[in-house]
Amino acid sequence: MIKTKDRVILHCDMNGFYASVELLEHPELRDKPMAVSGDPDNRHGIILAKNQLAKQYGVVTAETIWKAKQKCPDLCLVRPHMSKYRYYCGLINKIYQRFTDMVEAFSIDESWLDVTASQSLFGTGRQIADTIRETVKSELGLTLSAGVSFNKTFAKMGSEYKKPDATTEITRENYKELLWPLPAGELFGVGRATRDKLKQSGILTIGDIANAKKEFLTGLFGKQGLIIWEHANGIDDDPVSLYTDKEPIKSVGNGITFRRDLSTADDIAIAVKGLSDTVAGRLRKYGLKAYGVKVDIKDPYFKVISRQTQLSSPTWLAEEIAKAATEIINRSWRKGYPIRMLTITGINLTDEMGNEQLSLFDSNIEEKERLEKVEFTMDAVRKKYGSNAIGFASVISNDLGITIKDTGDGPAGKK
C-alpha cells in the first residue's frame, strides 16, 4: 500500500479557458486584449474570462463590462458558448487519462491527477506535468498551469502559484518558504468571510494560520478551523478519485428549516427562489439537468407532504426549477398555512450532453439561452468571490436564514 507521504498529486488548471477556446476560432483576436462576457451591448454585463493581454490591462473576471472597458477601451468581447467549453473539457480529460486513471474533476477547467503509480512509465511528477502541458498545447492549442505536490491542497495552490503555462512543484522541503508568506486568503479553502475574520484576529498570512493554536481556530470556525490549520501545515490525506468511480447522482436538492415559519406568498417566493438557485448551481456543477422537480414541505407540527412534477424538457436553470416548485406548492398547500421546512430537489437527472427534444418552433429557446448566460455568469462571480457574492435581489438580506452555498465550483481559481 502506498503511504500518504509518498503520493504525487498534480493539479491542472487551464489558463483563461473560455477565452482560450474562443481564440481557437477567432485567431484574429489573438494579439488583441479580449474577453468572454455577457451581452456586450449591456454595459452591466459581466466578464467571464479574459486573455493574458486583457489581464495586463487589469481586467479581472466577474467585473462589469463597463468597468473593464474603462481600463481597456479597445477590449474585444466575445459571447460565451458553453457547449464548446464542455467539448474541449472532454478532450482535455482524455489526455489526462493517458497518464493515470485517477483523475478527479474540480470544475470544467481544473482536475486533480494522482500520478504516484505512473512515475515508472512517465518520469517524475514534474516531468509528467510538463509532458501534459506540452501535449495539451500541441494537440489542442490550449495552455494550462500545473501544480505538483504531495497532497491535493498544495497541488491546487501550485497551479495558482505561477501562470500562464507553468509548472510549480511544492514539496515538504519548500512549502513553508513558498506558501507561508502568502496572504491568509490565498490558502485553498479560505473564503472572503473566513479571511476577514482571520484578519480581525491578527492572522494575516498562511504561516500565521499554520502557527496558530488549533484550539483558537476551532473556537473561531468550528471544524473548518481545524481543516485550514491542517492544510496550512501540509496535512491533507484526501484521495484523488478514479475517473470511472463517479457515483451516478440520482437527485440534487437543498432544504432548510427556516428561522421563522413561512406565512405569506412573498415568504414562499423568496424561499423557493433561494433554494432553486442552489439546486440549479449544483446541477450545473455536476453537468446534469433535471427532468423533474420534487418539493417536500413540513409544517410547524412536523407533518410532511411530498409532491413532484415532470418537466417538458430537462433544466439546470433556477428560474425554471422555481416555477415548477411554485406550481407544486400552489396546488398542494393550503394558502396561508405556515411552512416550517422546505426542500426542493431536481429528480430524473440526465447528462446535459444527452439528447434534448426541443421543437424548432419552441418560442422559449431564446429565453432559455438568455437565462443560461445569466446563471453561468453568476457561477463565474461566485467562483471568484464566494458563494454569497451575487444572488437574486429578492433573496439577498432575507430574514429566513437562506444563504447561497455550494453553487459554484469551489474556492476561486484566478482565471
Residues acting as catalytic residues: 110
| First vs last C-alpha separation in the chain | 37
* Residue 203 CB neighbours (<10 A): 22
Residues 135 and 144: their CA atoms lie apart, in Å, by 10
Residues 117 and 343: their CA atoms lie apart, in Å, by 43
State the Cα angle at 199 between 193 and 200, rounded to 5°: 95
Which helix (H) or strand (E) is 342 found in, with range?
strand 339-351
**Residue-wise DSSP of 201-253:** TT--BHHHHHHS-HHHHHHHHTHHHHHHHHHHTT---PPPPPGGGPPPP--EE
Parallel, antiparallel, or unpaired for β 103-107 and 9-14? unpaired
Cis ω on the peptide bond leading into residue 164 (within 30° of 0)?
yes
Residues in the chain: 415
Q: Three-state DSSP class for 399? A: coil
